[in-house]
């Protein structure tokens, strides 16, 4: 889907250094790779004032039912917290969908440039944010790195790791509907 910036999103530091040509291309081409079936509609977001106090909506998109949803947000007040309904990393590293000739928007020069700029922004913001007082070991134990992924999940590409959290511990405990839902890809 295109990156449809909100008025507030157009002033975000995430896109402030993007050239006009990139802003135009990403607003017209399908440069974001959406793999999720549930999100926060603009209607729901606007009906919950607490969300607007914490989050700044950067972009929206329209789902298959025609409903507008939040596709990208950042925390207010400078905290390096971002929420993305799309996968900005996939433009650079995954090629199982579509042609590789640049006609697939996520792998176009604009799609790759967008992904690189977002990655650089995330890393730069993280470098300057040291508001938490924790040891690296404590940090890693609380991240997904503490869990062992399952590779070769039925219906998904072999390189895509899948993590099982309680109450599930392996693929045999997951029903067919869950496998089908996990294998559904929305672009």
- Lowest mean pLDDT, pick from 21-30, 117-126, 153-162: 153-162
**Phi and psi at residue 109, in whole multiples of 5°?**
-60, -35
Q: What is the pLDDT of residue 170?
A: 56
66-78 average pLDDT score = 88
Torsion of CA 157, 160, 161, 165, to 10 degrees: -80
Mean pLDDT of the chain: 77
DSSP 162: B
Q: For the whole prediction, is pTM greater than 0.75?
A: no
Q: Give the helix ranges, DSSP H, for 15-99.
A: 20-28, 42-47, 49-54, 90-93
Find the mean pLDDT for residues 97-126.
78
User: How far, in Å, CA of 34 to CA of 85, rounded?
Assistant: 7
> What would the mean pLDDT of 22-46 be, rounded to a whole number?
83
């Amino acid at each position: 889907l295109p990156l449809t910036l909100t008025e507030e999103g157009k002033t975000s530091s995430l896109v402030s250094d993007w050239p006009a040509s990139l802003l135009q291309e990403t607003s017209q081409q399908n440069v974001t790779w959406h793999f999720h079936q549930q999100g926060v509609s603009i209607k729901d977001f606007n009906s919950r004032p607490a969300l607007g106090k914490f989050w700044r909506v950067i972009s929206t998109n329209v789902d298959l039912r025609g409903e507008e949803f939040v596709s990208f947000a950042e925390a207010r007040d400078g905290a390096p917290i971002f929420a993305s309904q799309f996968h900005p990393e996939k433009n650079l590293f995954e090629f199982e969908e579509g042609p590789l000739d640049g006609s697939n928007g996520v792998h176009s020069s604009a799609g790759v440039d967008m992904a690189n700029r977002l990655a650089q922004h995330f890393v730069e913001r993280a470098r300057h944010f040291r508001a938490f007082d924790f040891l690296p070991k404590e940090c890693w134990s609380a991240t997904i790195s503490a869990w062992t992924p399952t590779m070769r999940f039925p219906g998904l590409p072999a390189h895509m790791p899948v993590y099982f959290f309680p109450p599930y511990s392996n693929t045999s405990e997951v029903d067919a509907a869950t496998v089908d839902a996990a294998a559904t890809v929305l672009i």
